[in-house]
Amino acid sequence: MIEVKLICISLFTGAFGLDLGMERAGFHTVSVVENDSDATKTIALNRPHLKEIAVPRDITKIDAQELLCEGGHILDIGRTLNKGEVDLVIGGPPCQPFSTAGLRGSVMDPRGSLFMDFIRIVREIQPRFFVMENVRGLLSAPIRHRPINQRQGLYDELDEMRGAALSVVLDQMKALGYNVVYNLLEAADYGVPQNRQRVIFIGSRDNEAFTFPVATHSEDGINLPKWRTLRDAIFELVDLQPQFIPYSENRLKYLRLLKSGQNWRYLPEELKREAMGGAYNSGGGKVGFYRRLSWDKPSPTITTSPHQKATDMCHPQELRPLTIRESAVIQTFPDDWVFSGSVSSKYKQIGNAVPVLLAKAISDYIYNLIQGKKPQGKEMVEQLSLFTHS
């Protein structure tokens, strides 16, 4: 007899952020697939019952039957789980193919990415639901970009269109036979002290009617509590052994001149060009350069490297980037969660994670659906069912 806890299989698990949210809602992770050695050590440290399977694994070489077998072992039911018996498959395939931050020509066809392994495993396991997370760039990314005079025929023109990568993703999900909705969610709307937007896809095998969880916080605070701020998250945090990568003296020279909430634009006019170097004449807002965070706003998106020049996450008062523990708190990891690896690796694991409170809001919603309750959902123009998508 399978345990009462609902069963979850996790792909591209990372540091377990998405899984922690699922756990808090009542799901039980019984198998994980992650290729990064430090991330798997993090999982094993915090969830010893997963130690045997929390080892670096290449998802392209993983068979769904292997995951079902592991699930039966973790649940101690004396047999392999059956196809269709898993409640939930979750994961965030690596976002690099959909990134809009790099060269325009670097956008890739999702059909050639690890996204297809996510689709493959969902098809083979047939969970009741799946949740996939990705970067907002997926909504507008073309499959490739070339000058108009180098394009040949309608197929090339379609590949060049904004949103071409999303169309491929939706077509692949539609082929699974699942009813799927997707939307761009703001983590701050769910109690995360951070502005972080991510695309969330939810698929239902049994064609339940559903939307997305309603927000619990708002920017204006009129009908809901206001967004949580950096002050709410870390002002009283006691970190006896702070871990961070110190700034060079060259960076400190400029950061010393800035106050909380300021960036390079607040430097003396004669120092702006000197501080920015070649980036001075580049386009864009460049708001992340020499940025000192504001106490009274949510944190900007926690990145994988908060001391980088273009994505600075300098403490509002101290001359250092956010520490490992501060970054984890902003991502709403529990205080006792331990990260394995070097300081750089820990930053990477935290920056790549789904905020735990955002994950919990999504999983609470799905949990209630499975339990036969009708959760309150938010109606959104962007939300589409694949059975009506064209």
Q: Is 95 annotated as catalytic?
A: yes
Domains of the chain, with CATH numbers?
6-221+355-378 (3.40.50.150), 230-352 (3.90.120.10)
CB atoms < 10 A from the CB of 89, how many? 26
Alpha-carbon span 210 to 129, nearest angstrom: 11
pLDDT, tens only, 281-329: 887 789 999 999 999 999 999 999 998 889 999 999 999 999 999 999 9
Query: Does an H or E element contain 6, and which?
Result: strand 6-11
Per the CB < 8 A criterion, the answer to whether 211 and 383 are in contact is yes
Place of tokens 């927000």: 215
The single residue of 8, 69, 95, 314 carrying the catalytic annotation is 95
Q: Is the dihedral of CA 48, 53, 58, 63 positive or negative?
A: negative
pTM of full prediction above 0.85:
yes
What confidence tens digit (pLDDT) does each residue in 51-104 have?
Answer: 999 999 999 999 999 999 999 999 999 999 999 999 999 999 985 555 444 444
Compute the distance between CA of residue 131 and CA of residue 181 in angstroms, rounded to an integer.
10
* pLDDT tens digits, one per residue of 207-257: 888 899 999 999 999 999 999 999 999 999 999 999 999 999 999 999 999
Cα torsion 113, 119, 122, 125: sign: negative
Per-residue pLDDT tens over the stretch 158-178? 566 878 889 999 999 999 999
